[in-house]
C-alpha cells in the first residue's frame, strides 16, 4: 500500500488544479477543486478525519464536527431542525450536509466563509456549537497528543510546537474534500444513459424540475455534471417571512453593531432575528436581504428537515412553499425582498408528487436506506484515486478511518 500511496502523493502534490489531478469522479460530478496551497494526500485525509471526529475540541468534550455532520445521516444531524451543540444548546440554522461541500463557492448558509479551510475554524468557538473560548485548547491537544504529533509531522513537516490552527484547518478541509457522492439513479439516467435507472414518476418529475417547477434556474444542471446549486443567494420567503415587519428596525441595528465589531458568526447563530437577515448580514447588500445559499439537492431525500432553518419537514412541504410563490401557507404575505425568480407555480398535485419522486432519485447509493452501521462508515466515493487501478479512495479512507 505504501508504494501506491507514494505514487498517488506524487500525483496529488504536483496537482494545482482539478484538471491535473488523477481523479475519477463519481458519475454526475466534476473534478473536485483542490486549492494549490492545500494538496490532498492520504495522510492528510486521515489526519483530517481524526480531527473531524475528535470530541475533545469542544468545551464539554462531547461535541465534534461529526456530531452535527454525522456520516450515518448523510453528514447532517437529520431529523433535527437546528443543530444542537454543547449543553444541548441549539443554534438558528439547519446543519448543511458536508457531502459535496467541496464544490461550493461559499460555505455556511449565508456564505460567510469562502472555503472549507476558513469554515472549519469557526464552529469550535461558536458559543452554541463547540463553545471554546479560543483555539488554544485545540492546539494544546494536538501538540501534546503523541499520535497527532506523528501525523502532523508526517503531513506538514512540523514539530508539535510548530502546529498551528491553520494546519488543523487544512487537514479538516482535505478530509471534507473526500466526502463527495454522485452515482444516483438520476446520474445513471441522465449522464449514464440508463433510461431504466429512474421510475416513470421520477422521469416526469425531472420534466417538472426543468419546466413548470422552474427548479433548475437555481439548482443547476450542466451538460456533463450537476451540482444542483448556482452557488448564489436567494430570498425564497423562508425565515425572513417571520421577521419581515421588523426588518426596518433589525437591519440598521445589526449594521451598527457590526460596525462596532460584534462577531458576525456568533450573532447570526445565536440571535434568531439577526439570523434571518441572511446574506445581507455578510455583504450588507439590500438585494441579499433574507437571502440564503442555494443548497445542493443531492441526497436531499435523506437530510430532512429542509431550508436554512429546518422549518419544512418534508420535500412535499418544500414544493408547496415554492408553489405558493414563497409562502408556506397560501395567502400569507409575500415578503417585500423576495428574489425575482420566486413566483406562484400552479403545479398540480400529480406534478408535486412526481417532483418528490425526482428528488428521491438524487440519493447516492451509499446514503440509500437502511443507513450504514455507525462507526463503519467510510467517506463514500472514489473521488480520489491513484493511478494504480486498485488503490481506490474508499479503501484509503477505510484505512484512514482505522487510525485511532
Closest CA to 98 of 48, 153, 42, 160: 48
Q: In which residue are the cell numbers 460555505 written?
A: 107
How many whole angstroms separate alpha carbon 231 and alpha carbon 294? Answer: 6
Q: Which is nearer to another protein, 174 or 323 (CB)?
A: 323
Contact 188, 27 (CB under 8 A): yes
Q: Tell whether residue 136 is a contact of another protein (CB under 8 A).
A: no
Q: What's the Cα-to-Cα distance from 78 to each of 67, 300, 382, rounded to whole Å?
A: 11, 11, 25
Contacts of 111 by beta carbon, 8 Å cutoff, 6+ apart: 105, 233, 279, 282, 293
Options 32, 65, 208, 338; binder of another protein; rule CB under 8 A: 338
Give the binding range for another protein (CB under 8 A) out of 147-155, 202-210, 282-290, 394-402: 282-290
Q: Tell whether residue 285 is a contact of another protein (CB under 8 A).
A: yes
Q: Strand, coil or helix: what is 113? A: strand
The binding track of 245-274 with respect to another protein, each residue x by CB under 8 A or -, is: --xx--xx--xx--x---------------
What is the Cα Rg of the chain in Å?
21
How many whole angstroms separate alpha carbon 208 and alpha carbon 194? Answer: 20
Give the binding range for another protein (CB under 8 A) out of 70-78, 81-89, 278-286, 365-373: 278-286
Q: Least Å distance between CB 292 and another protein?
A: 16
Q: Least Å distance between CB 248 and another protein?
A: 6
Options 3, 261, 331, 340; binder of another protein; rule CB under 8 A: 340
Give the binding range for another protein (CB under 8 A) out of 160-168, 178-186, 270-278, 284-292: 284-292
Options 53, 62, 121, 283; binder of another protein; rule CB under 8 A: 283
Binders in 287-306 for another protein, by CB under 8 A: 287
Phi/psi for 107 (5° steps) reads -110, 160
Give the binding range for another protein (CB under 8 A) out of 14-22, 183-191, 277-285, 351-359: 277-285
Q: Least Å distance between CB 253 and another protein?
A: 8
Q: Least Å distance between CB 279 and another protein?
A: 12
Options 14, 79, 211, 341; binder of another protein; rule CB under 8 A: 341
Q: Which is nearer to another protein, 340 or 375 (CB)?
A: 340
Binders in 344-363 for another protein, by CB under 8 A: 344
Q: Which is nearer to another protein, 130 or 277 (CB)?
A: 277
For 344-401, give the DSSP string.
Answer: -----HHHHHHHHHHHHTT--GGGSSSPPPTT--------S--SSTT--HHHHHHHHH
Q: Which is nearer to another protein, 52 or 280 (CB)?
A: 280
Closest CA to 130 of 174, 99, 86: 86
For another protein (CB under 8 A), the number of binding residues is: 22
Q: Which is nearer to another protein, 249 or 350 (CB)?
A: 249
Please calculate the CA angle 352-358-363 and round it to the nearest 5 degrees: 135
Give the binding range for another protein (CB under 8 A) out of 11-19, 157-165, 309-317, 332-340: 332-340
The binding track of 192-231 with respect to another protein, each residue x by CB under 8 A or -, is: -------------------------x--------------
Phi/psi for 53 (5° steps) reads -100, 5
Q: Strand, coil or helix: what is 126? A: coil
If you ran DSSP here, which 8-state letter would residue 174 be given? H
Contact 333, 324 (CB under 8 A): no
Q: In which residue are the cell numbers 462507526 written?
A: 375
Q: Least Å distance between CB 271 and another protein?
A: 17
Contact 7, 396 (CB under 8 A): no
Residues at the interface with another protein (CB under 8 A):
217, 247-248, 251-252, 255-256, 259, 283-287, 325, 336-341, 343-344
Amino acid at each position: 500500500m505504501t508504494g501506491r500511496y507514494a505514487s498517488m502523493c506524487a500525483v496529488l502534490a504536483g496537482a494545482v488544479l482539478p484538471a491535473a489531478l488523477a481523479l475519477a469522479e463519481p458519475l454526475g460530478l466534476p473534478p473536485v477543486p483542490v486549492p494549490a496551497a492545500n494538496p490532498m494526500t492520504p495522510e492528510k485525509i486521515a489526519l483530517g478525519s481524526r480531527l473531524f471526529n475528535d470530541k475533545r475540541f469542544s468545551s464539554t468534550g462531547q461535541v465534534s464536527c461529526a456530531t452535527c455532520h454525522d456520516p450515518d445521516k448523510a453528514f447532517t444531524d437529520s431529523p433535527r431542525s437546528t443543530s444542537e451543540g454543547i449543553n444541548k444548546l441549539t443554534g438558528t440554522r439547519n446543519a448543511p450536509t458536508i457531502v459535496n461541500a467541496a464544490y461550493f463557492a461559499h460555505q455556511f448558509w449565508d456564505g460567510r466563509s469562502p472555503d472549507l479551510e476558513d469554515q472549519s475554524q469557526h464552529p469550535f468557538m461558536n458559543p452554541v456549537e463547540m463553545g471554546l473560548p479560543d483555539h488554544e485548547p485545540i492546539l494544546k491537544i494536538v501538540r501534546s497528543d503523541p499520535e497527532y504529533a506523528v501525523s502532523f509531522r508526517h503531513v506538514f513537516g512540523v514539530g508539535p510546537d510548530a502546529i498551528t490552527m491553520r494546519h488543523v484547518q487544512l487537514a479538516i478541509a482535505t478530509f471534507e474534500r473526500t466526502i463527495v457522492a454522485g452515482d444516483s439513479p438520476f446520474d445513471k439516467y441522465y449522464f449514464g444513459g440508463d433510461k431504466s435507472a429512474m421510475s416513470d414518476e421520477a422521469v416526469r418529475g425531472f420534466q417538472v424540475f426543468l419546466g413548470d417547477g422552474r427548479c433548475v434556474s437555481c439548482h443547476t444542471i450542466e451538460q456533463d455534471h450537476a451540482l444542483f446549486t448556482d452557488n448564489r443567494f436567494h430570498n425564497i420567503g423562508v425565515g425572513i417571512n417571520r421577521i419581515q415587519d421588523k426588518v426596518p428596525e433589525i437591519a440598521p441595528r445589526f449594521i451598527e453593531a457590526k460596525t462596532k465589531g460584534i462577531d458576525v458568526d456568533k450573532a447570526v447563530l445565536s440571535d434568531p432575528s439577526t439570523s434571518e437577515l441572511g446574506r445581507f448580514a455578510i455583504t450588507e447588500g439590500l438585494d441579499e436581504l433574507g437571502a440564503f445559499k442555494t443548497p445542493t439537492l443531492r441526497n436531499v431525500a435523506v437530510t430532512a428537515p429542509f431550508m436554512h432553518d429546518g422549518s419544512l419537514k418534508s420535500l412535499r412541504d418544500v414544493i408547496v412553499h415554492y408553489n405558493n410563490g414563497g409562502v408556506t401557507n397560501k395567502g400569507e404575505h409575500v415578503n417585500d425582498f423576495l428574489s425575482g425568480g420566486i413566483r406562484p407555480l400552479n403545479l398540480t398535485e400529480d406534478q408535486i408528487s412526481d417532483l418528490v419522486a425526482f428528488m428521491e432519485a438524487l440519493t447516492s447509493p451509499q446514503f440509500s436506506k437502511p443507513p450504514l452501521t455507525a462507526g463503519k462508515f467510510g467517506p463514500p466515493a472514489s473521488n480520489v484515486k491513484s493511478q494504480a487501478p486498485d488503490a481506490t479512495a474508499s479503501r484509503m479512507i477505510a484505512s484512514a478511518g482505522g487510525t485511532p
